Each structure stands twice: as C-alpha cells, then as structure tokens.
C-alpha cells in the first residue's frame, strides 16, 4: 500500500506539472520566463540551514525540475520561520518554507504580515527540543533549570511557551540563548548548552556531529493537528503571479517526492552543493521525514492543505493564550494556489 501511495503521489505531481506547462501560453508563458524568453531568476530560502531535511530543493534544481518549469533558482540557507518570512516579505527572496504554526504565531501576534502559504511540505510538525544522553533530560519537565539554544525567529523557540504550558513545564525556569542554525548542534556537542531547538528528523545529524546518542522531545507529543513546514511567498507575488507560483510549487514538490523515494541520492546531491553536508546523515533525515510528509495511506497528494485542520491549529494556540488577535486560515493560506487533495 505504501508503494502504491508513493506511485500515485508521484504520478499526480508529474501530471500536475505537465498540465501547468501545457496550459501556459501567452501572458502565462512570459510570466514564468520573462518577456525575453529567458529563465526567470528565483531566490529560494531553505527552512533552517542546509541539512538533509531541505535537500529536496537542491534535488529539484539538480534534476532540472526548476528549469523545466521556467526557473533559474538560487538556493540560500534560511534562519528559521521569522528570518524566512522577513527576507521574503522584504523582497530579498521569492519562496521558502516556514513552520505553519510559527507563521500563525507571527501573524496572530502582529509580528509579521504580507506572506502567503501555498503548499504543505510536512503534514505534521517536526518541531521539538533535542538533547543528548548525559544531560538528564528525558521528559519535558526535565527542561526546567536547563539552558537551551536556538535562533530568535525559530518556531521551536517561539512556540515553546505554548508547548511548556501544555506539557506542564514552568517556562520561566528555562533559559534560552541565541545561536545560528548551523552552529546549534556544535553548541550541544560541546556542552555549552543542555538542549537545542531542532526538527526531530535532525537526530541522525546530531548523533553524527555530537558523537552521542540524541534524545528528542517532539512538540507533536503534546500538540496534535499541527502542520509542519509550508511553502510561502509574498502576498504580492501570490496575487500578481499565481501561475508562476503554481509552476514553482509543482517543481519543488516533484523534488520533494524524488528525494523521499531516493534519500541516498538526495544526500549525495546535497553534498555536491554544500561542502559541509554529511550525505549519510542527510539521507537518514529524509527517511525519517517521509512519515511527516505523507498523509498515512490515504493517497492524498503531497502538498495539500486542509482549512479545517488549520482552524484546529489556530484554536489550539488561542486556547493556550498564544495569539493576541483572532485569525482565520484564509489569512495565511491561499487555498486556490495549493495542490488539490
């Protein structure tokens, strides 16, 4: 059944990409390639550094999926939800993934606006706290009195108060310090901090760098129905270039599907593009991530977003007192641009 689901999803993505290309003529064609027929230059941000979980963008470029859709793509490392949003809204990048819950917090608390989600990357949140054996942390309560590191705009850090409240942790007893995305695992390995904000699929990379067994505390254990990363663009691009957005999304998701089916090759492609990458750890991350990307055995196409589930996520945050203002799914997602279930 799992193989059948993968085959159906792959065929659906390929069909969607072909249909988009076939239907593009006149103004739609120039929108993707520009008036002179050249490839349209696009800047894409990863979600958080250059780990295996983000290798699918490099795969989409290496395999020619972006070029086939009419794009020349530059990939730059992102610094978490807040950083990706501000860079895209500021016009320095066109697309990038953010954690949807982090986006809801940013929008609902007036910290960011003018960004639009157009596809899901993971159907469940991968946010969590990572530590290593020897830190005496095996449950959320053990985080009290400990020092944690993360980037200021990371969803793990911004969602921590809500997680702590639901997990019975006194957040005031936890100290947070700043760290760059690529430096966090090194900080944990050196012992300068007790834990770091990290997606749970980062376990293989943590163990490869820290040389110790990783201990993961997934937020999903206490917060159900939360989506993981979603692809965003600026509200301006979403409104003015909808066909361009659909083409880019289809190409990126094609890279995601290929990466999950061929994690070892995806890890090697990441290493080819990022000297510091560990291809074995990258492949292991992708293998773990597959369960978060796919919707079980339902056959639902990769990338889909459900308004009802997003509404539940908003309700969870509102119930925890994490949102200063009421928001709706439509304020953050353009469902007309998202892949159809």
Domain ranges of the chain: 2-123+227-331, 128-221
Same fold, 2-123+227-331 and 128-221: yes
Q: What is the pLDDT of residues 53-89, one digit of tens each?
A: 999 999 999 999 999 999 999 999 998 899 999 999 9
**Could you write out the DSSP letters of every residue in 198-261?**
--GGGHHHHHHHH-S-EEEEEGGGT--S---EEEEEEHHHHHH-HHHHHHHHHHHHHHHHHHHH
Cα dihedral: 258, 259, 262, 266 (round 10):
130
Inter-CA distances, 41 with 34, 77, 94, 104, 248, Å? 9, 17, 10, 29, 11
Which is nearest to 252 in space by CA: 60, 121, 96, 78?
A: 60
pLDDT band at 33 (very low <50, low <70, confident <90, very high): low
d(C-alpha 277, C-alpha 269), whole Å:
10
Q: Are 293 and 121 in contact (CB under 8 A)?
A: yes
Smallest CA-to-CA distance from 59 within 198, 261, 305 is with 261
Report strand pairing: 229-234 vs 95-99. Answer: antiparallel
Query: CA 184, CA 195: separation in Å to the nearest integer?
Result: 9
Give residue 154's pLDDT: 84
Lowest mean pLDDT among 5-14, 114-123, 250-259: 5-14
Measuring CA to CA, which residue among 88, 34, 95 is closest to residue 60? 95
Share of the chain above pLDDT 90, in %: 78
> Homologous superfamily of 2-123+227-331 in CATH?
Periplasmic binding protein-like II (3.40.190.10)
Using the structure block, give the residue that is written with the tokens 């196409």: 301
For residue 35, what pLDDT is reported? 52
> Would you state the structure tokens that stand for residue 186, as one six-digit string?
């090194």
Distances (CA, A) of 186 to 179, 190, 208, 329: 10, 6, 11, 37
Contacts of 262 (CB under 8 A, 6+ apart): none
Please write the tens of the pLDDT for every residue from 296-313: 555 678 999 999 999 999
Q: What pLDDT is recorded for position 20?
A: 38
> What class does CATH assign to 128-221?
alpha beta
Biggest distance spanned by C-alpha atoms of the chain:
63
173 has a pLDDT exceeding 70:
yes
Q: How far apart are CA 43 and CA 92, in angstroms?
A: 8
pTM: 0.81
pLDDT > 70 in the chain, percent: 87
pLDDT score of 11 more than 90: no
Mean of the per-residue pLDDT values for the chain?
89
341: helix, coil or strand?
coil
**Residue 22: band (very low, low, confident or very high) from pLDDT cuts 50, 70, 90:** very low
Is residue 17 within 8 Å of residue 303, measured between CB atoms?
no
- The pLDDT, as a whole number, for residue 27 is 32
**For residues 272-287, average pLDDT:** 96
Joined tokens for residue 169? 């942790």
Q: 213-234: per-residue pLDDT in tens?
A: 999 999 999 987 799 999 999 9
In the beta sheet, which residues pair with residue 216? 130
Please give the radius of gyration of the chain, using alpha carbons only, rounded to the nearest integer: 19
């Amino acid at each position: 059944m799992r193989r059948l689901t993968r085959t159906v999803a792959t065929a659906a993505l390929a069909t969607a990409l072909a249909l988009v290309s076939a239907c593009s003529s006149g103004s739609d064609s120039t929108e993707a390639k520009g008036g002179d027929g050249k490839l349209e230059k696009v800047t894409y941000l990863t979600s958080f550094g250059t780990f295996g979980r983000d290798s699918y963008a490099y795969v989409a470029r290496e395999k020619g999926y972006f070029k086939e859709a009419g794009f020349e793509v530059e990939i730059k490392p992102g610094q978490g939800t807040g950083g990706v949003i501000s860079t895209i809204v500021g016009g320095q990048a066109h697309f990038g993934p953010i954690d949807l819950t982090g986006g809801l917090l940013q929008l609902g608390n007036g910290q960011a606006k003018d960004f639009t989600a157009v596809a899901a990357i993971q159907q469940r949140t991968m946010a969590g706290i990572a530590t290593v054996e020897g830190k005496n942390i095996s449950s959320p309560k053990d985080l009290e009195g400990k020092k944690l590191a993360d980037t200021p705009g990371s969803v793990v850090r911004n969602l921590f108060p809500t997680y702590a409240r639901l997990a019975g942790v006194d957040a005031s007893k936890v100290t947070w310090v700043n760290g760059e995305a690529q430096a966090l695992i090194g900080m944990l390995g050196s012992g300068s901090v007790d834990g770091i904000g990290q997606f749970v699929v980062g376990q293989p990379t943590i163990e490869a760098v820290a040389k110790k067994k990783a201990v993961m505390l997934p937020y999903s254990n206490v917060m159900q129905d939360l989506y993981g990363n979603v692809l965003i663009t600026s509200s301006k691009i979403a409104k003015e270039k909808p066909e361009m957005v659909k083409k880019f999304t289809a190409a990126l998701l094609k890279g995601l599907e290929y990466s999950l089916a061929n994690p070892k090759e995806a890890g090697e492609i990441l290493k080819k593009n990022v000297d510091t990458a560990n291809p074995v750890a990258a492949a292991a991350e992708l293998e773990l991530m597959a369960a978060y990307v796919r919707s079980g055995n339902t056959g639902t196409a990769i990338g889909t977003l459900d308004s009802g589930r997003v509404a539940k996520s908003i309700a969870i945050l509102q119930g925890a007192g994490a949102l200063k203002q009421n928001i709706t799914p439509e304020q953050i997602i353009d469902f007309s641009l998202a892949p159809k279930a």
